[in-house]
Amino acid sequence: MSDSLVKVRSLVKHFKLEPKGLFDAPPVLRAVDGIDFDVQRGETLGLVGESGCGKSTTARLVLRLIEPTSGSITLDGVDVLATSKKELMALRREMQIVFQDPLSSLNPRMSVGTSIAEPLRFHRIADKVERFDLARRYLEIVGLSKDYYDRLPHEFSGGQNQRVAIARALILQPKLLILDEPVSALDVSIRAQVLRLLIDVQAEFGLTYIFISHDLSVVKRVCNRTAVLYLGKIVEIAESERLYREPLHPYSQALIRAIPEANPDGPRADSLAGIEGDVPSPVNPPQGCRFHTRCPHRMPVCTEKEPPLMEAGDGHKVACFLHQEAADHSDGQ
C-alpha cells in the first residue's frame, strides 16, 4: 500500500513452555506464526478470530510490549524492532493501546485526571499546570466533565472508565491506537456510545486504529478492512463490506454465519455452523492447512501443504486451496 503507517512482515512469536520431563525439550507455543499485513494511514484494521488465535499477541508485538521471535515491524517508516531503549521510549508516544478491562488498566489509587496526565509527566511534556489543563480538556473530549478530575476510578461506571482510558491514550496525540476488545467488557447499552466516541475522535485527530474483537458485528461497523486469524495465521483479509458479503475461507464463512441478527424472523445464528471439533493446540498445530481438521471442504492437498495468503482480486486475500485457481488467474492479470 502506498500510504501505509504500519507494515508487518513475517511476524513470528513462539513461547517456550515448561518441559514435561527433566530431559524433555521445552514445547513451543506458536502464538503468532508468520503473518503479514499493512495498516493504511487513517484506516481501521480489524483483527478477528476465536480466543487463542493470536490477536492480542499481535497487538503487543506491534507495540513491542513483548519481543518477537522473528519478523519486522515498521511504524511510519521507522523500524520498531531496531530501535534502542531510548529511541523506543520516544516512539511509544506515537502508538498507544486501550485495553479490554478499563478498571484494571487504571491505577485505583490515582485520580482519573492524574492518570490521564501521567503519560505527559512520563515523557516530560509540559509543566504541572499545563498537564492539569490538558487532562481536563481531554476529559471533555471523551464526553466527561472536567470537574471529574479528582475522582477515583471506582466512582465511575465501566463505560466512563473506558472513556478515561481512551483520554489517557489520546493525550500524547499518537499516530496509531490499538484497541484490544475495547467494548467487550461493557454493557450492551454502553457499547454503541463508546464506539461512536472512537469513530468521532478518529476523525478529529486523524488516528489509525488496529481494532481487536471477537464480536464480528462490532468489527463490521467500525473497521475499513478485516483480517481473520486462525491458530496464529491470517487466513483471510479484505475490505469489511466485501468480507461480510462474500467470505471465501470456510472459517470466515462460519464466523459470519454465527453473527446473531436483530430480526427475530430471520435465520437463526448457528455457532460456527458446519465446523467440526475444537481449535487444535497451538503447541502442536496440524500439518498443512491448520484449519483442515475442522474444514467441511478439506482436500488431500490440505493435509500436505500450507496454503499461502493468495490474492483473490481487489486486495481480497485468502489462504485456501479452494481458491487457488482464482488466485492464479488474478496473479496472471
* Three-class secondary structure assignment of the chain: CCCEEEEEEEEEEEEECCCCCCCCCCCEEEEEEEEEEEEECCCEEEEECCCCCCHHHHHHHHCCCCCCCEEEEEECCEEHHHCCHHHHHHHHHHEEEECCCCCCCCCCCCCHHHHHHHHHHHCCCCCHHHHHHHHHHHHHHCCCCHHHCCCCHHHCCHHHHHHHHHHHHHCCCCCEEEEECCCCCCCHHHHHHHHHHHHHHHHHHCCEEEEECCCHHHHHHHCCEEEEEECCEEEEEEEHHHHHHCCCCHHHHHHHHCCCCCCCCCCCCCCCCCCCCCCCCCCCCCCCCCCCCCCCCCCHHHHCCCCCCEECCCCCEECCHHHHHHHHHHHHC
Is the confidence at residue 333, as pLDDT, over 80?
A: no
Using pLDDT thresholds of 50, 70 and 90, give the confidence band for residue 61: very high
Given a contact cutoff of 8 angstroms between Cβ atoms, the answer to whether 208 and 40 are in contact is: yes
**CB-based contacts of 287, cutoff 8 Å, min separation 6:** 303, 304
The rounded distance, in Å, linking the Cα atoms of 211 and 222 is 8
The pLDDT assigned to 272 comes to 60
Residue keyed to cell 471439533: 277
The rounded distance, in Å, linking the Cα atoms of 210 and 160 is 22
HSE of 3 in the Cβ direction (CA atoms, 13 Å)? Answer: 5
Q: Which residue has the higher pLDDT, 266 or 95?
A: 95
Given a contact cutoff of 8 angstroms between Cβ atoms, the answer to whether 264 and 218 are in contact is: no
What is the Cα 117 distance to its own chain's centre? 25
**Highest mean pLDDT: which range of 8-12, 102-106, 212-216:** 8-12
pLDDT tens by residue, 168-193: 999 999 999 999 999 988 888 899 99
pLDDT tens by residue, 239-293: 999 999 999 999 999 999 887 766 555 555 555 655 777 889 999 999 999 999 9
Residue keyed to cell 499493512: 38
Cα–Cα distance list, 19 to 15, 22, 25, 286 (Å):
12, 7, 6, 21
N-to-C CA span, the chain = 19
Given a contact cutoff of 8 angstroms between Cβ atoms, the answer to whether 11 and 64 are in contact is: no
Is the confidence at residue 297, as pLDDT, over 80?
A: yes
The pLDDT assigned to 19 comes to 86
Domain ranges (residues) in the chain: 4-19+26-85+218-323
Query: What CATH number does the domain located at 4-19+26-85+218-323 have?
Result: 3.40.50.300
The rounded distance, in Å, linking the Cα atoms of 14 and 316 is 28
pLDDT tens by residue, 111-129: 999 999 999 999 999 999 9
Please state the rounded mean pLDDT for residues 187-201. Answer: 92
